[in-house]
Amino acid sequence: MLESKVPHLLLFVTTLLMVSCNGTENAAEQVAEGGENATAGSLGMVKITNMTYFSYGLAANVVAVLLYGSNYVPLKRIETGDGMFFQWVYSVSIWAATMAGDIMLDSPKFHPFAMLGGVIWATGNIMVVPIVKTIGLGLGTLIWGSCSLLMGWGTSRFGLFGVTAQEVSRPILNYCGAGMCLLSGLIFFFVKTNVELHPISESIPLLLERRINSGSYCPSSSNFWIDIIGLKTRRFVGYLLAVVSGLLYGSVYSPILYIQSHSSFRDSMFYGASVYDLDYIHSVCSGILATSTVYFAIYCVAMKNRPRVYSRVILPGILSGLMWTSATYCWFLANTYLSAVVTYPIVTAGYGLVAALWGTLVFKEIRGLGNCLIFSLASVVVLTGSLLTAISKI
């Protein structure tokens, strides 16, 4: 079933992976034709096919890591205000891209329950702009990535939220990996960042309020709340939001796992549901757009119909949305090849390190020898913990 969809998906994401997948399907068909009379040559083809699946799953993982880690780079040097308008543009871009992907995948069944994952994601993503403004892109991504990894690990390992618990072959490695991820999150709290609140000269939104006395124009709200609070308070708020955002991100795919866990129960409303993660992407992203639209409407009401709307956010928001969508398709494709228990910790830690490189090397958010050493130590710890978690499940 999935083989018929994969070429369309790969065309949607990258030409390289499309060619690779077609080669995989041809090899699988050759093995199937051998039947019970499979010879040593056909068995060799099976080994080649398994290695091919591993190679292409790894390639899809790498693409996902790079795109997720670079996802918020386009907004780094522009003024986003409170981020609400960016969130909405970002969500529209994601939904439009997944609509195209949904058509190319022959429109699998839409699952309204999977939209709950989109609600959770949109709620966590509202905090991204304040996080980037308070503690920076690199540090913020690593903290919410560590928390997301722990949440996702706990959900699958202990069967939280009605999800079927997954056994591991090496429990000690599994717990050590999770412990190291937790330790890295604690180490990150000692890193001090240097973040510019207004990266460009455009700090005036499009929607303006006329001053009757002077006849000039000014923003309806002169200061964003981050501009007002002190440096220490700003850092604490950034850390707190990153933790909450990470816990929410780690719960995004729980509704999908719940549906898949109950797809084999005849008395369940999800009986017969697809076991392929790719079939749920559009449902999740529909929840993202719906929730973001509701949040933006509430925001407009709270701002008395004078929201902060910045023109330069639009194209970066669309680009970020396309990058996130492509990364998600690659990640879910990697899940098909390698299984989610292997890809989840690698992707979660990997994109955090990519974002950390952007923040450290390009945007100079972390300065000073001591800060860099602490940051490097925490990065190595979280990477080691994620690899241990992945290895323990193989």
How far, in Å, CA of 297 to CA of 294, rounded? 5
Q: Which of 32-41, 155-164, 252-261 has the lowest mean pLDDT?
A: 32-41
Contact 191, 378 (CB under 8 A): yes
Q: Which of 29-33, 70-74, 80-84, 179-183 has the lowest mean pLDDT?
A: 29-33
Contact 101, 329 (CB under 8 A): yes
Structure tokens at 329: 């398709």
Average pLDDT over residues 181-200: 72
Contact 105, 329 (CB under 8 A): no
> Which of 89, 128, 93, 96 has its CA nearest to residue 314?
89
User: pLDDT at residue 143 above 80?
Assistant: yes
User: pLDDT at residue 215 above 60?
Assistant: no
| Ramachandran assignment for 105, one of left (phi > 0), alpha (psi -120 to 50 degrees), beta (any other) | alpha
Most confident of 121-125, 214-218, 374-378: 121-125
Average pLDDT over residues 32-39: 42
Contact 42, 184 (CB under 8 A): no
Structure tokens at 334: 């990697």
How far, in Å, CA of 201 to CA of 162, rounded? 50
What 3-state class would DSSP assign to 304? Answer: coil
Confidence of residue 199 (pLDDT cuts 50, 70, 90): low
What is residue 11's predicted lDDT score, i.e. its pLDDT?
54
Q: Which of 16-20, 235-239, 250-254 has the lowest mean pLDDT?
A: 16-20
How far, in Å, CA of 356 to CA of 353, rounded? 5
What is residue 323's predicted lDDT score, i.e. its pLDDT?
92
Structure tokens at 118: 């989109």
In angstroms and rounded to an integer, the radius of gyration of the C-alpha atoms of the chain is 22
Beta-bridge mates of residue 210: 217
Q: Which of 57-71, 172-186, 275-289 has the lowest mean pLDDT?
A: 172-186
What is residue 8's predicted lDDT score, i.e. its pLDDT?
54
What 3-state class would DSSP assign to 332? Answer: helix
Residue positions counted in the chain: 394
What is residue 291's predicted lDDT score, i.e. its pLDDT?
97
How far, in Å, CA of 111 to CA of 69, rounded? 29
Beta-bridge mates of residue 209: 218
Average pLDDT over residues 196-223: 48
Q: Which of 44-53, 125-134, 306-315 has the lowest mean pLDDT?
A: 44-53
Comparing 269 with 91, the larger pLDDT belongs to: 91
Q: Please give the angle made by the CA atoms of 40, 46 and 49, to the nearest 5 degrees.
A: 145
What is residue 113's predicted lDDT score, i.e. its pLDDT?
93
